[in-house]
Structure 1
Amino acid sequence: MNIATTPAEASTAPLARRIADFAVALDYDLIPAKVRERARIQMLDGLGVGLASNAYPFAARAMAGIQALGGAGDCGVLGRPERLPLRDAALANGILIHGLDFDDTHLASIVHATAACLPCALSLGEHLGAHGRDVLVAYAAGMEAAIRIGAAVKGGFHHAGFHATGIVSHFSSAIVAGKLLGLTVEQLVSAQGIAASTAAGVQVFLEEGAWTKRFHPGWGAVAGITAAHLAQHGFVGPSRPYEGKFGLLETHLQTHAGEADPALIADALGQRWDLADTAIKPYPVCHFIHGAADAALELRAEVPDPRAIRSIRILLPGPTLPIVAEPAADKARPQTDYAAKFSAPFVIATCLLRGRFGLAELEPAPLADPEVLALSARSHCEADPDTAFPAYFSGGVELELSDRRRLRRHVRVNGGAGERALNIAGASSKFLAAAGMHLPPAAARRACDAVLAIDMKPLRETMPALVGG
């Protein structure tokens, strides 16, 4: 029998229990209309990026490896004709949604929240024949869990060498899957406990621009689906996977464990909707660079000839420097498109020279552009003393010109975040541009309209617009 936690017990109940209480009780009508709209916008953004990924070699190579695991199934893959078994489809969709690092980020959590929830919601929802509104509810429940876990560790996963989305996606996917499967509170507690034994994702990919980051949220979806099914059939997981001795916060934060605030994981669940604050990326690069990229683009209008730039001082949130600025020699000359996404010098140099930074700027020719690389080499990165991090990914750029003039811009609220968040029109424009890399314009438009009405019909009626064949 499902017995929810009483108000008197809530503050002392294990965190997994409090999340389970929230998720099991959540209903479509309990989600404010504005939050549902933001959820549709964020789903649209993730699906558009997922479609665009098919224009890149990693998509076909990932599909070949996934197909080698098993046969055909009943679940679709974004932009592709293949039908895969449930967990394989979730893995494939996760790789596509996160593969370009162009998907959304909750800034305070430093988590790609949609990538941590949507692959599971999409594949399991289709597999179960769920209605789109139930998929949206499950997605929303997972988003709130993902964001709060990320917020509670205060950047600690990254500091300890883990990719936060790679960790959090196991738990959020267990919540999404448990909601769609109709798990009881007790079963959903166990599912989170089981997920604690699969959560992983090291950041060693940063050394050479390897592809493993792309794989992390899809693998989290596989683990979450597995955990929920095991729990549904009586498999017992620990009830305190977050705060227990040798639980997530202790093992994965290591020396940073004392900096965490576990209470944030269940803080105001169902009362404050953090998913609505998730930022959509205007640039296909690490979100930590976005404020500085905004600043560089503003400065470009004042520099008619970028060749007159003698040096560039890039101001970034201090805790992000090891990820986007170090080691300096490697960041100045990224060897792959993925390494370039995590290079503040390369991104800022490109913005100053080209006046833009989109997916086209990550193609082989721009990556090898000697003018960009020369300007990148004249850059250095420092901690921003005026940053609003982690609330926003602030950034600044200071230029010294050949005539010794200095120009400076600082952006406190990066584009796509806070009061600069993309609305439906802005998100639709980004979707059409991204999806249009793989789909004909009319097909991209149909897909956009279908996603914006995703909660109005069974998911299986939406999926044909999102898959090939």
Structure 2
Amino acid sequence: MSSEEVVSVKLAELISVIESEKIPSAMVSVTKNITLDTIGCALAAAKSSYAESLLSANHQGGSGNIPIWGFQDGTDMYSAALINGTSAHGEDFDSSFEGCPVHSGVVITPAILSLGHMINATGEDAIRALTIGHEVMCRLGQLTGTTVHRRGFHPTSVLGTLASTMACSALLRLEPKEMVNALGIAASMCSGIIEYLSDGSSTKRLHAGWAAQSGIRASLLAQAGFTGPEKSIDGDHGVFFAFSSGANQNYEILTEDFGHKWVSINTAIKAYPSGTMTHPFIDCCLQASKEINLNEVDEIICDVGEGTVHRLWEPLKLKQNPPNEYAAKFSTPFCMALALHHNKLNLNSFSELYLSDREILNTANKIKYKINPDDPYPKEYIAKIHVRLSSGQIKEYNKHCLKGGRHEPLSKPEIIAKFQDNLSFSSLNLSNANKLIDQIYSLEEIRDIKQLNLSLS
């Protein structure tokens, strides 16, 4: 795009001409996988304390018939998007993106299914809007890289608010000028600090739901005639000035070949319920657990990307001794120790019981890091660990890619199996679950998205 073009205007024009038939079948398949995975992650959280808190707060004023996934309750579309998005992101088991760890599924899916329910959207309409939303969010992630995190904000919340807005605008078939206004409105809704890292509090979970409902609000306000600044992205006081590294960016990353090249096809379906960048290290430990005696381990040194340190490694003593189950998900040392002792990592791994397990904590406290200046993060997620044994021998283990990512994707049967495993934490019956799987993988045939939503309660 030329230097004279306004980013939001160019993006709105590109989105407005995308039709369902222009979206490649491979990308449609990815969208369906993300949709199933997102819903499964929300159902896995249905009996959690934070889901109960969301419902309790909603009972103070929310009412309507939009389903809350996994519950009999219905509510208004804003609250449904908030609750469903928060629940789906709650266990950090949801899809992520290689290029920047943004979680588009838990933002875009609840927004589109809630808004789609209200406007009687078809499954084909939903696929188009979902895919556009994923693409916008992943490209925004590529554009910002690690800068949003470095400023102390959560990219899923900040960038998700913008992406959700464009997805909802696409579903509503807004005119380009209305989309520009919607994006301008959404820019004032961007938020989400990452101070949860200090104590494992629940606000990270909320960020996805907040971004989802914000997208609905911004797009409907624009449709009703409310205005927002045209240069909300690239202006002197725009989103990139406030949340990233300044207004001067290579915005072609966001717009170049949009609608022709789909970077979101590289969305990863997570294999483990923990911070994405812990996964290659978990895989190294699963390999090592078959070959070493933990009683003989003196120290484990991990080569890491500098951009991961402030979220997953420091303060090191806190990460080695996480204060609660949620904080443990964002501790590479603790996740590694769990994998070494249990030879697996799943939703049951993060329990209060293991937080006080002396053997696991002893191993976690032996795990340290050193920065590898050649680590490709955030473009690639890799790991290398050096295990020093009491004999003096050093064993090395490598993982060259993210399991579930573009180099080692989960198969459709594996994604369905993950969904079914997540169901064991909910009260959704098996017949509804099988119906839901069939509906999602034939989404373009659904006449009214309500049919899908009603299978979720």
TM-score normalised by structure 1 residue count: 0.94
* Residue 311 (structure 2) aligns with: 323
Answer whether contact 1:153 1:262 (CA < 8 A) is retained. no
Q: Look up the SS of the partner of 1:404 in the other structure.
A: coil
Correspondent of 2:122 among 131, 151, 166: 131
Correspondent of 2:284 among 262, 280, 295: 295
* Residue 24 (structure 1) aligns with: 16
* Residue 84 (structure 2) aligns with: 93
* Residue 357 (structure 2) aligns with: 369
Alpha-carbon offset, residue 444 of structure 1? 2.9
Aligned equivalents of 1:433, 1:273: Cα separation in 2: 30
Answer whether contact 1:392 1:417 (CA < 8 A) is retained. no
Q: 1:336 to 1:189 in 2, by over 3 A?
A: same
Q: Does 1:390 pair with 2:378?
A: yes
Q: Where does structure 1 lack aligned partners over 5 or more consecutive residues?
A: 1-8
Alpha-carbon offset, residue 284 of structure 1? 0.5
Correspondent of 1:102 among 93, 105, 114: 93
Aligned equivalents of 2:212, 2:100: Cα separation in 1: 19
Alpha-carbon offset, residue 442 of structure 1? 4.2
* Residue 462 (structure 1) aligns with: 452
Alpha-carbon offset, residue 385 of structure 1? 4.8
Q: Does 1:247 pair with 2:235?
A: no
Alpha-carbon offset, residue 112 of structure 1? 0.7
* Residue 310 (structure 1) aligns with: 298
Tell me which amino acid in the other structure corresponds to 1:337: E
Alpha-carbon offset, residue 27 of structure 1? 1.1
Alpha-carbon offset, residue 30 of structure 1? 0.7
Deviating more after overlay: 191-200 vs 366-375 = 366-375
Q: Does 1:47 pair with 2:39?
A: yes
Correspondent of 2:137 among 133, 146, 158: 146
* Residue 217 (structure 1) aligns with: 208
Aligned equivalents of 1:364, 1:465: Cα separation in 2: 33
Q: Look up the SS of the partner of 2:246 in the other structure.
A: helix
Q: What's the CA shift string for 1:160-219, capped at 9, x where partnerless?
A: 100000101111111111112221110001000111111010011111001001011211
Answer whether contact 1:16 1:242 (CA < 8 A) is retained. yes
Matches within 5 A, 1:392-431: 392-431=380-419
Alpha-carbon offset, residue 407 of structure 1? 1.0
Alpha-carbon offset, residue 137 of structure 1? 0.6
Q: Look up the SS of the partner of 1:261 in the other structure.
A: coil
Matches within 5 A, 1:51-66: 51-66=43-58
Answer whether contact 1:288 1:317 (CA < 8 A) is retained. no
Answer whether contact 1:243 1:249 (CA < 8 A) is retained. yes
Answer whether contact 2:240 2:247 (CA < 8 A) is retained. no
Q: Does 1:37 pair with 2:29?
A: yes
Correspondent of 2:257 among 250, 256, 268: 268
% same residue: 27
Answer whether contact 2:235 2:247 (CA < 8 A) is retained. no
Aligned equivalents of 2:374, 2:256: Cα separation in 1: 28
Alpha-carbon offset, residue 10 of structure 1? 6.9
Answer whether contact 2:123 2:449 (CA < 8 A) is retained. yes
Alpha-carbon offset, residue 374 of structure 1? 0.8
Alpha-carbon offset, residue 260 of structure 1? 4.3
Aligned equivalents of 1:207, 1:33: Cα separation in 2: 42
Alpha-carbon offset, residue 448 of structure 1? 2.2
TM-score normalised by structure 2 residue count: 0.96
Answer whether contact 1:292 1:315 (CA < 8 A) is retained. no
Alpha-carbon offset, residue 427 of structure 1? 0.9
Correspondent of 2:170 among 175, 179, 198: 179
Correspondent of 2:69 among 59, 72, 78: 78
Aligned equivalents of 2:249, 2:152: Cα separation in 1: 16
Q: What's the CA shift string for 1:364-402, capped at 9, x where partnerless?
A: 112221110111011112223553322221112221112
Tell me which amino acid in the other structure corresponds to 1:276: I
Aligned equivalents of 1:431, 1:368: Cα separation in 2: 30
Q: 1:281 to 1:377 in 2, by over 3 A?
A: same
Q: What's the CA shift string for 1:324-357, capped at 9, x where partnerless?
A: 0000110011111110011011001111111111
Correspondent of 1:335 among 316, 319, 323: 323
Alpha-carbon offset, residue 466 of structure 1? 1.7
Alpha-carbon offset, residue 454 of structure 1? 2.2
User: How many residues matched?
Assistant: 455
* Residue 6 (structure 1) aligns with: none
* Residue 196 (structure 1) aligns with: 187
Deviating more after overlay: 189-198 vs 170-179 = 170-179
* Residue 3 (structure 1) aligns with: none
Tell me which amino acid in the other structure corresponds to 1:220: A
Q: What's the CA shift string for 1:115-170, capped at 9, x where partnerless?
A: 22111111111121111111111011111111111111121000110000010111
Aligned equivalents of 1:455, 1:367: Cα separation in 2: 45
Tell me which amino acid in the other structure corresponds to 2:63: A
Q: Look up the SS of the partner of 1:47 in the other structure.
A: helix
Aligned equivalents of 1:282, 1:163: Cα separation in 2: 22
Answer whether contact 1:173 1:224 (CA < 8 A) is retained. yes
Answer whether contact 2:238 2:247 (CA < 8 A) is retained. no
Tell me which amino acid in the other structure corresponds to 1:273: W
Q: 1:425 to 1:384 in 2, by over 3 A?
A: farther
Q: Look up the SS of the partner of 1:54 in the other structure.
A: coil
